[in-house]
Structure 1
């Protein structure tokens, strides 16, 4: 009986020692992990500050418009920006020539890589012409550039009016489930297109506009993003007039927790002003990113948008002063025909003036 008791005691002592050793090893490993993880986060944050990545897709007639995206970024920020541009073979020499020149003029603030248009062969024609030519390329970006962790995607009809650093900082606000940040199409069901006309699922109550999209590509790859897009296109292609944007809405309809919703000032369209002031944050803090959707920069229906675009289009990188730019913005905006959007002049000018004052000093105007 005594031997049995001693055996039990010895066995329990052995188990206790084993558990203690396990807990010690686990604690030690956790501490090592935390130190390495913190260091990795610190390094990643440092890399993010040192280089911002921005991307767009451009084919055919959108070349000049896309150059103004690059101009607007360079005007309103001093942080190095790396552009990943998906384009057809005809435009690559033009991009190389212009962007190399601008890189020299801006002391290498600008760097870039050119990627070819690359759709799956099985449905290449469907993808190429789903909306505007090659616009759907953006859906496949996570798979096409595995060397990029995160980027800001913008349509070519967008203009930055503030420092791109501010928009980039929203990546740090993502929770563990969020893979992308976008703005709502509109938060008014009487204005937003989706609750009124969509024949397919869409995000939330109002749908999203994908013209400005923060993309954590690493998380999107883990999510399996590219695996979703072709089955959705084949199922809904007769009911998605906005092409890639509608596909994004369908994906996020079923994965709402994957979305961080941006304030409307980061994707400001004519819908936010043509019926009156529908984006209070832009009015109080200024429009950050102007989106000329539905050809608002070119069709003379939104003279306020056209005035800002014209001034940036005429700006010469490395030659013109920011004072010249602001003077032209003021001139063209003042001369533009009256409009509801034009009535919100302060929303258009507040941030460009503040940013230029902060970066270059107050101009003599």
Structure 2
């Protein structure tokens, strides 16, 4: 490391000395030093000094005082205010050594929901929250004319002694445009220095505003000298209530309004007017606890070194991040906290016995018995508690139609351009959930403020803050789904562009009321794709078919993943004039319109793979109808592959873990849907699994014909009756195919070529790993499998086994610990009892696994 950075880097030993051997402090300083190296602007020495001060080991005498809960009151209303509040919170949390209780005053149910969700998902240790509504005491301030841009919010600090709980006796009151660079305990400690008459702690105003010499034609409200700034206030609420603060400020304000038509600086004018009459009420705080950065500030009034500053206050309309040469140092400091990963602040300071934060990873059930260590990242990612900032932006109410439909989508920051394209193409309501870092969220806010995004009144943006390395795709979908308020939702991915006028078309065809709107129907929107950025999206179905025939447009994933959209039946769609029903098929993952009360997505599916397949499978299991819309379509536009897709393609362990998750999903699906007392026809089952060394070729000739070629044997065809069996147990075996990507056949009638009896199941695979997974799947199937000793096996089937395929089952399948024995063909086998959940326990059959 070069000499330029030598002053910014300290050894671990030095860090631990500064921090009194606190690992928390060490890791925090290490994080700062790394950020400093990359950004070059973050002055480590300043933070170092502050952290060093606040990490003194506490004696028993001052422990209780030092570790009391600090109460902080903030007024926040509107999107920009919430963004500033986030940065304020980060700075307070970064330096704090004590428990904190935030009291936030806001103006609506929506704002309250946003703030409660933010705090609950942030999951900070020893941090509590109370929220108050501005309208609780609106009559105490709404009569005051206010010329300040903050409106009623700018007057609301006056009513804090009234609306805060009487159990709160002291509070730190802060504007949202504040940045802490010190432990808030230092500020809080000044409350103990108040004399009997002092009820407010404030710093002197650092401009000439109240001296009356800034402008020619203005007359400031009365103040004591330069007056006091209300951006940072210490309030002794017990004393304020005792002197009847509410009546005091009202009397002074009413009297002065006879002279002044309105306030210019909101509550600051009124605080100063009261102090001017009763100077004994105020305790003067050092200027470093409210360094004011505005165009009229007199720097010489607080000329301490930058490293000595405790609180920075941007009390100007331009706010922190707009250019001003005199503020570049503090602006860089502010940007560091804007970019700081909020998850980093889930720490516990050792000075106080703070409560431990709930794990940000919820309890993980033992759903992945195999490959436990291998799949740990998936288990962790699917259970993370992600921070959420709902309704990111200014939300405006919009009119809803009886059959209105909201397009739901989710994306990462690199797909932001796709969102802008979607906003142009779809005119209806949109809910987009973005998965972002803290720095990306700030960039998004900047884009929105500068109209880079065509955000309309009917567009809702939610931000989920990034944590971990796997994209929580189904969690993002669920957040969008749960916040929708229209009767219908269109489940779409960000890289698909809807056909022109699709929203208006859906409004014409979707039912408006009655039984139809309550039925379980998923309206399929066929998906297509283009390979070139220059292809124009067809305006109509006629144009699309021409482009399809010319090769400019293709059926989505027709080359890579046919099964995903095969059930849509594109040949039928070409000529369809009316909606038509289709049956679910293996690995079906369409895009569709459905009622918003549709079941949620399974959040165990993270990254790429099976996330939509599992959801559609669940809908089919719940007897949803799939109806293809003949004049609706979406077109997938080309883009660079995501990191998740690359991992799926290149990492076999990644794919294996997803298969395990899929298998677990199927098992739970059967448990959930087979309700006690539900009547199903009993099915006695024999399942036979055949290894690839015995089977060299399998081909499905038609719906009910399987062609099998055996070693040293002629080609045979096995034919059976295979209607669409409605009994759920049969569906289980059909679904197992999607978990294993191998062929699974249910035979309802006799399969004569093997001599099997009715209702037997045949599984054919040529993948050894798949065989292991199927075996595990069966072992954990509802009802279970128990060892049953020796058993005979059908002679005709035994002829198919291979002597060279003998396997030690104890090594391959240790979870079952089967009885292993040899047949005359030297094949190793095991048998067990299989109990299906669709019928009583007496409907057992024999499970045979042969190699």
Of 307, 319, 339, 2:332 maps to 307
1:308, distance to aligned residue in structure 2 (A):
2.0
Quick one: distance in 2 between partners of 1:56 and 1:248?
17
Describe the superposition over 1:290-319 as per-residue Cα deviations: whole angstroms up to 9, x where unpaired.
101103303323433332222111111223
Residues 272, 175 of structure 1: alpha-carbon distance in 2 compared, 3 angstrom cutoff = farther
Matching residue of 2:233:
213
| Structure 2 equivalent of residue 266 of structure 1 | 289
Output the TM-score relative to the length of structure 2: 0.30
Within 1, Cα distance between the matches of 2:127 and 2:83? 17
CA displacement 1:13-62 (0-9 Å, x = unmatched): xxxxxxxxxxxxxxxxxxxxxxxxxxxxxx99936732101111011131
Quote the offset at 1:88 in angstroms.
1.7
1:178 maps onto 2:198 in alignment = yes
Q: Is the 8 A contact 1:184 1:209 kept in 2?
A: yes
Rounded to whole Å, the distance in 1 between the matches of 2:231 and 2:302 is: 17
Of residues 231, 235, 243, the one that matches 2:251 is: 231
**CA offsets 1:325-359 (integer angstroms, 9 cap, x no match):** xxx9xxxxxxxxxxxxxxxxxxxxxxxxxxxxxxx
Q: What does residue 100 of structure 2 align with?
A: 81
Q: Given that residues 66 and 185 in structure 2 are in contact (C-alpha distance below 8 angstroms), is that contact kept between their aligned partners in structure 1?
A: no
1:144 to 133, 140, 163: 163
Partner of 2:343: 318
Where does residue 248 of structure 1 map in the other structure? 271
1:62-141 matches, cutoff 5 A? 62-89=81-108, 90-102=110-122, 104=123, 106=124, 108-118=125-135, 120=137, 122=139, 125-127=142-144, 131=148, 132-133=150-151, 134-141=153-160
Q: Flag the structure with larger Rg.
A: 2
8 Å Cα contact 1:265/1:289 also seen in 2? yes
Which of the pair is proportionally richer in strand? 2
Offset, 1:204: 2.3
Q: Say whether residues 1:52 and 2:70 are aligned partners.
A: yes
- 8 Å contact from structure 2 (residues 71, 171) kept in 1: yes
Q: Secondary structure, in 3 states, of the residue corresponding to 1:300?
A: coil
- Contact conserved, 1:87 with 1:114, CA < 8 A, in 2? yes
Q: CA deviation at 1:130?
A: 5.7
Distance 1:48 1:85, change over 3 A: farther
Decide whether aligned partners of structure 1 residues 84 and 276 sit closer, same or farther in structure 2, where only a CA change above 3 A counts: closer
Distance in structure 1 (CA, Å) of the matches to 2:190 and 2:210: 26
Deviation track 1:62-101 (CA, whole Å, cap 9, x = no partner) reads 1111121111110011211110000122211111111112
Separation of aligned partners in 2, 1:179 and 1:195: 24
1:252 and 1:116, CA in 2 relative to 1: closer, same or farther beyond 3 A?
same
Matched, 1:222 2:222: no
Cα 1:211–1:124 change in 2 (3 A) is closer
Structure ranking higher in helix proportion: 1
Match among 321, 332, 345 for residue 298 of structure 1: 321
Provide closer, same or farther for how the CA distance between residues 173 and 275 of structure 1 changes in structure 2, counting only shifts above 3 A: closer
Q: Aligned residue pairs: how many?
A: 274
Greater RCO (CA < 8 Å, at least 6 residues apart): 1
Secondary structure of the residue that 1:261 maps to in structure 2?
strand
Distance in 2 (alpha carbons) for counterparts of 1:143 and 1:212: 19
In 2, are the aligned partners of 1:57 and 1:85 still within 8 Å (CA)?
yes
The counterpart of 1:160, out of the listed 180, 198, 212, is 180
